[in-house]
Amino acid sequence: MSVAQIPAVARALRATFATDVVDAETRLTGGLSGAGSWRVRVGGIAYALRVDAARDAVRDPARAQACQRIAADALLSPRLRHADPAGGVTIVEWIDARPLSDFPGGGPALLDELARTVRLLHETPAFPPLMDYVDALDGLMKGLLARPLLAPETRGRLAALWAELATASRAAGAEPVSSHNDLNPRNILSDGARLWLVDWEAAFQADRYVDLAAVANLFAPSPQAADRLLTVYFGAPPGDRQRARLALARRVSHLFYAVMFLTLASDERPGARLPCDPSAWPLQQLHAAMGEGQPLLETWEGRLEYGLARLDAAT
């Protein structure tokens, strides 16, 4: 079935282009959110079309599209051509993305551009609030701990680790900003000259270090690189408090992705059970393989391995 045959999509196409006929369409794969995404051509011009059908405490197209519109107005997200919260349909201008590894100037230039992009995002008008980030992760953690995927001893260590990080995070306080909350390479596009941010499903007001930690864990493996990220972001060399805030947030970010991927693995195979001390590849090795184009996250085993690697990095 053509995407244009979905009633909400047909309405969106007619409202945007005065036609519901698409010249061509390609289903896009690789996302883990459950949304449907397509590259469509209308009148010979390419657009990205997304349909968000799921609704729950976090997945709310009205909030996501409000955040996306703010980001698009700030030229941080592709131009928004249509947004229908009721139908969950968005249409944006297409970005011909190039590998982040090919960013002009290499890794240091990419890290600088990421720091500037995140800073500009955090300076936009406030995103709609949703929930406290630590409270949200606490709920996700309880959900994972209730599943039988992990051995009792592993669940006990995970619960103790989260209690430590949650207490420290609440004591550190929060600096709420407009936060993307899921800055991973799939949601960061390079057109060869600059970066664009996409997929605003998880966006809401959160502590500034949520986005900074996500970027640092992927693109700033050394203390020197982390300092560079903070220096560009804040416009001055970081102090001890900023370094400590980032270090704590990095562990929390690792744990967030661990919980997300392990929960997904458990949901996909409810009968799966892991040994008491499951081994994991080093996270840096996994990221290097993914950067080379290996489809690690396309398989159940790969998603499980990635969740375990993130869990190991959080300790």
Per-domain boundaries in the chain? 3-53+81-93, 100-314
- Does domain 100-314 sit in CATH 3.40.50.1000? no
Stretch among 21-25, 73-77, 287-291 having the lowest mean pLDDT: 287-291
pLDDT at 32: 62
Neighbours of 303 (CB within 10 A): 19
Q: Is the pLDDT of residue 168 over 70?
A: yes
pLDDT at 57: 78
Q: In Å, how far are 180, 302, 310 from 273, measured between CA atoms?
A: 33, 16, 18
Task: Give the pLDDT band of residue 108 (cuts 50, 70, 90).
Answer: very high
First to last CA, the chain: 47
Q: Is the pLDDT of residue 152 over 70?
A: yes
Mean predicted lDDT score pLDDT of the chain? 94
Task: Give the pLDDT band of residue 279 (cuts 50, 70, 90).
Answer: confident
Task: Give the pLDDT band of residue 292 (cuts 50, 70, 90).
Answer: confident
Task: Give the pLDDT band of residue 31 (cuts 50, 70, 90).
Answer: low
Residues 172, 178, 183, 186, Cα dihedral to 10°: 170
pLDDT at 277: 78
Could you tell me which residue, 59 or 124, shows the higher pLDDT?
Answer: 124
Q: Is the pLDDT of residue 179 over 80?
A: yes
* Closest of 254, 255, 258, 243 to residue 172, by C-alpha: 243
Task: Give the pLDDT band of residue 33 (cuts 50, 70, 90).
Answer: low
Q: Is the pLDDT of residue 281 over 90?
A: no
Angstrom distance (rounded) from CA 190 to CA 137: 30
Q: Is the pLDDT of residue 40 over 90?
A: yes
- Does domain 3-53+81-93 sit in CATH 3.30.460? no
pLDDT at 59: 86
Residue 174's contacts (CB-CB under 8 Å, 6 or more residues apart) are 132, 133, 206, 207
